[in-house]
Amino acid sequence: MTYYESDSSNTISRYYFNYDTTTGLLISIDLHGRFQGIDTNFNSYINIERANNTVYFYNNFEGKQYLISTIGKQITSIIKIDTLSGSQELATVIFLKNDKTDSIFDIGIFLQTNISFYNFKYDVYNCNGYSSKWREFLGIYVNKADTVSFTFTNIVNNNMIPNQLPCTDHGGGSVLNDVVYYLGIDGYYIVKPNTFLIDSSNYSNNSYSKYFYTMNENIVNSTLILTNYNSNIVRSYQEYTYYQ
């Protein structure tokens, strides 16, 4: 699959997904894009290796490495590895109850830290919402909290479409934002994947996102996301092409 995203005429990203020809599993991602008007190509932007119940995840563009522990496809913890010293730090831990995610703790990244996700709401098809709290740097660190609820389309989720996963909505402030979407393509998850694609995300701070999908032969080939935050509308456009 190729995933194309446009935020503006000066910032365009195109991701090429490469799969193992024997197992069919995702092994690397190439990034070609334009950032603030400068063209950039980065082959092996992401590399993924697997051994038993452990996944090794390398973000070579940002120089980050993660060791992910799993039970089957359920992610149970993410360890961040310092690429210089080799030291390890527990970055994310997932707590389970009755075979479902009960809560998640993520150390965060600089501006947003000590992130907790809890009070997950489920039905037989989807995760309908959850609450979160964290510390955010606004000159000083301030305690913040939010609750999100989702509505859904009747379009079946194939795990390929971005922006569908719970707990990745902290603006890149969490470790989960780096890892979960890419592993989710192979069926790995922190919260069991939704059966259907999201129609809207509604937050207790009155922000929301609305999703518009276009399809060709029952396959989603593009998404337009309109996000309203503090009365400002941000448009994000994505296109997808698939291997035959």
Question: DSSP class of residue 82?
Answer: -
What is the number of domains present in the chain? 1
Quickly state the pLDDT bin for 231 (edges 50, 70, 90). Answer: confident
**Ordered DSSP codes for 117-181:** EEEEEE-SS-EEEEEEEEEEESSSEEEEEEEEEEEEEEEEP-S-SSS-STT--STT-STHHHHHH
Phi, psi dihedrals of residue 181, rounded to the nearest 5°: -60, -45
pLDDT in tens, 49-85: 998 889 999 999 888 899 999 999 999 999 999 888 8
Q: What is the mean pLDDT of residues 170-179?
A: 68
What pLDDT was estimated at residue 5? 59
CATH number at residue 26: 2.40.160.190
Quickly state the pLDDT bin for 170 (edges 50, 70, 90). Answer: low
- Does residue 1 carry a pLDDT above 60? no
Task: Indicate whether this model's pTM tops 0.85.
Answer: yes
Domain encompassing residue 104: 2-241
Q: How far apart are CA 39 and CA 12, in angstroms?
A: 9
Question: DSSP class of residue 182?
Answer: H
